[in-house]
Each structure stands twice: as C-alpha cells, then as structure tokens.
Structure 1
C-alpha cells in the first residue's frame, strides 16, 4: 500500500522505505532548522534521518521517556528556542511523539511524525505531561502533526511483546470510541475498521511472513488514532493515565492489561457498542463476549496478563480510586467506588473476565 493521502486534514504517507522521504517532506513543510527527537530504540533511525537532513538539522533530542516528564519537556522546549528551530521531526512511539507535542504546544512549531509503534498518538490533538507523579492531558490543535510518515520497515525489529501491547493500546481507543458520548457515524466507522484490522494483525502474531502482518496493525493503529482524536475516552484511559503517571507503569502494557476488564465492567451498559465490537472481531453470531475475546487475543499475542505482573500493587487501589473519583470521565457505566474497586482488582489478578454479555 502506497500513500500519500489527506485523511481528515492530516497528510499521511505509508510505504516501505518512506523514512527516506523525511528530507523531502521537511522541505515541503518549509523546514530549514529541524529539531529532531529520536531516542531509545529509535536512535538508529534518528541517525539515518540526521544524515538525510544534513545542514537542515539544527538540534537533536535523544532523552525520551514515557508519559512525557515535565522536566524533559522543558529541556526540549529550551533547546528548540536555542537552535531557532522551525520544525520538529519525531521518530519513535508515543513517548517521542508526545515530547514533540510538548514542544509544539509551547512554541507553535509544526511536527512531522514518524511512528515506530501502533499508539496512534500521531493522529490526534491530544497532549500529555507528567509532573510530581500526576499526568495532565488536554487537546490543542497546534500539537497535531502536519505530516505522518509510516514506514513498515521500521517495525521489523519491534519486539513481539511491544507489538502486542502497542496494538492493544490502539484497540482500546477503538473500543472506547464505540461507546463515547460524542461518537458519530464517522468515528464509529473508524473504530469498527480499526478493531477489524487490529484483530486480524494480532491473530497473525508469529506468522512466517511478518511483512504481511504489519499493514493490518499500521492501518488499524491509524484508525484508532483518528478515533482517539475525535471522541471522549472513558474509564479505561483515565485508569491508564493514573496508573502510568503515578506508578510509572509501562504505558502500552497497562492498556493491554486493563482492556478486557474494562470491557467486562462496561459491557452491560453499552450493548450496542459490544455488538459492533463483536462483529468487527469476527466473533460468531450470537457471541458478544468481547471481553473474553480480547483477553484471549492478548494472551495468544504475548501481552502481559495482570497489573501485578507489570509492577502495580493492589495496596494502592484506594489511592487510584480517589484520583479517578476526583475527576471522573464520561463512561457508559456509572463510576461507583465498589464497581471501580472490582475492576481494578480483576485487572490486578489478570484472570479471564467472567462472561458478561449484555442482554
């Protein structure tokens, strides 16, 4: 599949080898002094792009962390000013994209994003910042990238566990988009297509032709990002932000662990959403056990099983509950203390959710 296309006002390029188009797209965007953000596992790709940019490269940030710590963001913003940057190029997962968004929000610079995971952050106006163990999120049109470049070849070395958790992170955007209070026919279409593509991609985990799997996950992740950017997320995302920002849990893994338990807890209050999700997942007619289906999909693709496994103690349940109840999100099921506790403890144990099928 070869793009570029314009999708909902966003320029998207997808093709093998597209990383080498960063210089061309930089020129198209008028960038002559680029701040390049690429660290961790994306550092080598950053080296490639730095060579392509040549004299256009004004500064480089390799310090990238999950949940965008405020102190790292402040240093990146300061560097952008010092080098007189006129464009930000990000290479990496949601952490790199999120850091680029922090710079864009503070400076007004545009972003060219090259994702290396399936988080979908590159398709949204959502930003996040963590300070003193508290994660704050918001929406700002300035932080949405002007161009997104998807290069399937960059995903060839993505560890199998990160493939699974990153795709399930995207899956959560689609599921919550189906029962969002501001869902529309358009966002529902994106969500259904995303679930279909992500399910197929995750079902193909371990396929001998890995290149055949990546387009499903890439397009599914992109659809999920469109949903995330256009709808209001519920208790799943609230819990993921509290757990990740306060307890430094791995972002994608937290989403992967929470998702089946949140779906089970919300199923009776969102029967239409569950029906759509079941159909998109390819569950047999009459089977609406979406939570069980996601749990099985996560297990077979190698995602972690429980919050305990990724380092969270149930002793902190009361603190998490208080943080959520202080600013509860929109959600199909009322967010009650006992209901929330049951959800958290179920995710902590990680057992298959009890079969919960709305009538």
Structure 2
C-alpha cells in the first residue's frame, strides 16, 4: 500500500545525560543569551531546582505550581514574569510545573528550558492546558513548546517507585493514543512503538530497584518518544476522557491515565488491527492488551478511579462532557453507552480487559 501522509516534526533541542543537568542548563542559558531567568518549580522540587540552577543567575524563583494549571495560578505567574522583565523560563519538575511555564509562554512568548523530573512528557509537546471552574481547556500553540529539554535521570531518583509507575504509564498512554489519534501517521506510530518498548523495559527495572539509573534512563527516553509521537498525532479518545476527568473532578493526572488506559486500549484495539499488532510486538506479547496487562501486573499499577476520588454518581455527567470531544477519527464509533460502560469499569476496577 502506498504511503500518503502529512507529518510535522517540532523543532527542539534535547540534551540527555545523567548528572549533567546543571551543566546543560547553564549552557542553554548562555546559548540563548538570557539575562533575566525565572525558575518555575514546586516547593517539593525546590532543592532539585536550586541544584540544577546553581550555575546561572536567577531573577526569581516561582513556586505557584498546582495540578491541571488553574487559571488563577497562571495569572499570578504571568504577573511575576512581567514584573521581573523575564526573558527565559527554566521549569524544573513534572507535568504541572511544565504546564505552568507553558501558561506564561502562551501569553508572553518567553522561551522555556524544561528540566523534567517525571515521565509526563509535556516538555516535548506544544500542547497547553488550563483549568477554570472545574473545566480543563487544552490547545496547541508553538509558543509553548520548550526550546530545549534537559534530561537527567539522576533527577528522577527521588520519584518513588509508585509515582514512577503512574507517570510512566501516563507516558505509555501517549504511545497508545498516537497509534490512532486524529493525525496519526507512520512516523509517530514508529516513535510510539519504540516508546512502548523502552517503557516496558525501564519501568519494571525501576519497580525492582528504584535506584536503577539505567531503568530510569530507559523510562525517560521512552517518555520523550511518547511525547513527540503524541505532539504529532494529537489527542485521541484516551486523552479526551482523562482531560475531562482531571479538570472536572480534580483527579491526579498520572494515576487517572494509568487507570483508564487498559479500558480504552481494549475498546479500540479490535478495530485497529495494524496498530494492535505493532503494539503487541513492542510489548513482546501475543496481543497489545495482554502485553499491557502483564506490564501492569508486574508494576502493581493503579486500577480503579474510585481510589482517586472519582464518585460513581459523576459518571453520567462525565459521559456528557466526553461525548462531544470524541475524535471522529477514533477507530470505533463511540456512544454514550460505550463511555458509560467504560467509566463504570474504570471506576470500580472490575471487568478488567483481557
């Protein structure tokens, strides 16, 4: 079959090296000619941020990080950047931290150097998200794509194995969605498959030994690939569901993705046999669902949305919020009943896909 597709590769520098974060950040600040740097990091990441930024002059440290980037937090950060005449943002942390830096860049155009400490992948996408009145809005804008990403596996050593698993499965969800999202093409499918392979290798190594640096490097590598694939392919059914759940019900981002993923994969896989075979091979399993289940069992992964505060009484409302944003390109048509069944199963953690 002849290939016919349109692919966009985002322009970004990636610097990868354990123990080299401070050196690489200083190099990027110098390369970009920045003189007024704002460092965005949560209070929990303050020590790491100080270490990473030890070789640069910092105009202001900003710690107003919150999950799902509430609009009011974004406005405070934007004001701080303006008051200090900031010409570069260095974000040190997970997806919420990167998300806040992106919120500032969205309205100011200030470039970002991202230093991830989790496997969220936001650092490699041009996707932004803001939450207001319990509704999460997302968009795409080149202004929010970090100009550089500094990966250092040593910075993830403080991330407990349990959170590493949830964050890594969030990255795996990027890979899966990239197989059938609205702009899926052969290039991002290849990146997504390699991301699955790397995460399937790295996450069990972290679970077995949280100090395993090679496992953490594989997970970071896989997370980067997953994010690049996702940025190209766009948001598929899985991400549409999880964005609604996170914004409307304030559910934890990574754990929500980790919990919902097997149900969406089981729903879509029969209607996308080529993608299913590619994912199965990447997992090293007979089927993609079997591969994901085996990995989740090994990792003792999150299983039920009820464990994270999602109430069964909210399912009908969630269905009404998700249904209008289901991508028309999804491999299967999606009805309100389909979504209701999927969310009921994910809420309870039963009827587990096989």
Instruction: Give the TM-score normalised by the residue count of structure 2.
Output: 0.93
Gaps of 5+ in 2: 1-8
- Look up the match of 1:47: 50
1:212-227 equivalences under 5 Å are: 212-227=214-229
- Look up the match of 2:346: 347
CA distance in 2 between counterparts of 1:324 and 1:142 reads 27
Superposition RMSD on alpha carbons, in Å? 1.5
- Look up the match of 2:77: 76
- Look up the match of 1:279: 281
Deviates further, 315-324 or 330-339? 330-339
CA distance in 2 between counterparts of 1:17 and 1:229 reads 27
- Tell me the matched-pair count: 343
> What whole-Å deviation, never above 9, does each CA across 1:55-79 have from its counterpart, x for those lacking one?
xx11221110111010000000000
- Look up the match of 2:205: 204
CA distance in 2 between counterparts of 1:268 and 1:168 reads 21
- Look up the match of 1:3: none
| SS of equivalent residue, structure 1 residue 308 | helix
1:234-313 equivalences under 5 Å are: 234-283=236-285, 287-288=286-287, 290-313=288-311
- Aligned-pair CA distance for 1:300: 2.2
CA contact (8 A) 1:37 1:61 kept: yes
- Aligned-pair CA distance for 1:305: 1.2
Deviates further, 298-307 or 57-66? 298-307
Gaps of 5+ in 1: 1-6
Deviates further, 36-45 or 207-216? 207-216
- Look up the match of 1:4: none
CA contact (8 A) 1:295 1:352 kept: no
- Aligned-pair CA distance for 1:50: 4.5
> What whole-Å deviation, never above 9, does each CA across 1:11-62 have from its counterpart, x for those lacking one?
11111122212122111111100011011331111222454223xx112211
1:66-215 equivalences under 5 Å are: 66-208=67-209, 210-215=212-217
| SS of equivalent residue, structure 1 residue 309 | helix
Distance 1:256 1:82, change over 3 A: same
CA distance in 2 between counterparts of 1:155 and 1:39 reads 15
CA distance in 2 between counterparts of 1:92 and 1:165 reads 15
CA distance in 2 between counterparts of 1:102 and 1:334 reads 33
- Deviating 4+ runs (over 6 angstroms): none
| SS of equivalent residue, structure 1 residue 31 | coil
Instruction: Give the TM-score normalised by the residue count of structure 1.
Output: 0.92
CA contact (8 A) 2:182 2:236 kept: no
CA distance in 1 between counterparts of 2:313 and 2:208 reads 40
Distance 1:51 1:201, change over 3 A: closer
Distance 1:149 1:352, change over 3 A: farther
